[in-house]
Amino acid sequence: MIVHPIDYRYGTEEMKRIWSEESKIKRMIWVEISLLKALAKRGYLNEDVVERIKEKAVKIKPERVKEIEKEIKHDIMALVKAISEVAEDSRWIHFGATSNDIIDTATATQLRDSILIIEAKLKKLIRLLVEKALEFKEVVCLGRTHGQAALPTTYGFRFALWASEFARHYIRLQQMKERILVGKLSGAVGTQAAYGDEGFEIEEEVMRLLNLKPAIISSQIIPRDIYCEYIEFLANLATSLEKVALNFRLLQRAEVGEVFERFEEKQVGSSTMPHKRNPIDCENVCGLARVIRGFVEPQHQSAILWEERDLTNSSAERITLVEATILSDHILTKMIKIVESLSLDFENIRKNLEAQRGLNMSEAVMIALTKKGIERQKAHELLRKVSMRAYANKTSLFEELIKEKEIMEYFSEEELKEILKPENYLGTALKRIDRVVAWINEIL
């Protein structure tokens, strides 16, 4: 019986395969085999024996492991017994190891492979946003603060801003790999007592075989600040994805109508309103981002353990790491598709800008007046009064400005019209877009 929506609705197959129960068991088997190889290298057993054990162990079915676990009530001992069943010599299987040597190291391989996928998709999203930043670089639009009309900006500037945010996530991902992609083989309390003086060498060899680094120190488990950092990264990434999705939703509202996510030919928007074109992909991103952020607290709680370790983290991490990773990959994949197929209504963009009747250009006039010699605060009050009058009279800012002798003694009407053109008040916007693009090209 399928219960969880991840099984039938959310997540990519490539990411779900990494975190499947079958994958977890196979990875733990590989950790056990890697331990045998490391022991063989130091003369504990013959390498040919390890190869024969490996050939049979990799064929172990998860069902057999679960069958043994049902009887003995211990997942790792069930795995060890399953391997021992097919081994001609089981003497060295799991030698010197504790359960979380196997679990945490296998988890590190899952994190490694997951990060490779997230990294590639993150780069793709950044490049897409850069493409849009350049494509819409000079598409002047109405800026909004507090949901109200503000100074003009460009769509290219918006996309450059978002691209820079995801570029920082990419940098964070590179920086945290060294801290996160670590395994362990340090025994019951982290002292490697069973291996004596050979502990470091055996651990290093196992991690080399698995393309990981050994944790610099661990107790019975890898310190959970490592997992906290990973979940926090996913939560931060999800927050940025939600922010962009939310802005697309706001810009798709009927009364704005500037940006639209794809709507396929046979797609249905509502079961009762045939005209609806709802931004469901963006809404999906927003909803699941909230779930991802919800894993931050239980993962932090899972880092607070008694002495060398208790078991309160185990049950939570079977959920936090798996679901946070799969859902993050899901909404990242969805955002790539959203941006790829995004469409802009340039007519509405211009219409919304012009609908402000120049009122959003009040700062431009205030700045020009200040440069002409009027004290800045006085210029601000003049423009505030004129703007409020334009609101009340439903007239344009230009119409009200030309009535003000105190203002018009500094400008001709033609000069004022030039000041009120949105494209003339973009400051360094276009240069900032170029700067972001150049910076991202260096990073990627």
Q: What residues act catalytically?
A: 146, 270
Reported for 390-396, long-range contacts at CB under 8 A and 24+ positions apart, including other chains, are 390/357, 390/359, 391/359, 395/357, 396/357, 396/358, 396/359
Rounded-to-integer distance, Cα 121 and Cα 135, Å: 21
Q: Please count the CA atoms within 13 angstroms of the CA of 161 that sit on its side-chain side.
A: 11
Helices 429-443, 99-135: axis angle to 10 degrees equals 140
Residue 363: CB atoms within 10 A of its CB come to 14
- The radius of gyration of the chain from alpha carbons, rounded to an integer in Å, stands at 30
> What sign results for the dihedral spanned by CA atoms 72, 77, 81, 82?
positive
- Find out whether 425 and 152 touch, Cβ atoms under 8 Å: yes
CA distance 224 to 218: 10
> Tokens at residue 365, please?
């006039």
2 is written with which tokens? Answer: 């399928």
How far apart, in whole angstroms, are the C-alpha atoms of residue 227 and residue 302? 9
Q: Which residues contact 241 (CB under 8 A, 6 or more apart)?
A: 285, 289, 331, 332, 335
- Cβ of 131: how many Cβ atoms within 10 Å? 15
Count of other CB atoms within 10 angstroms of residue 71: 9
Q: Which residues contact 308 (CB under 8 A, 6 or more apart)?
A: 188, 189, 190, 219, 220
Give CA angle at 309 (304, 310), nearest 5°.
Answer: 80
What are the DSSP E strand ranges found in 112-183? 140-145, 148-154, 182-183
Q: Which two tokens stand for residue 409?
A: 């003694």
Q: How many angstroms separate the CA atoms of 368 and 300, rounded?
A: 53
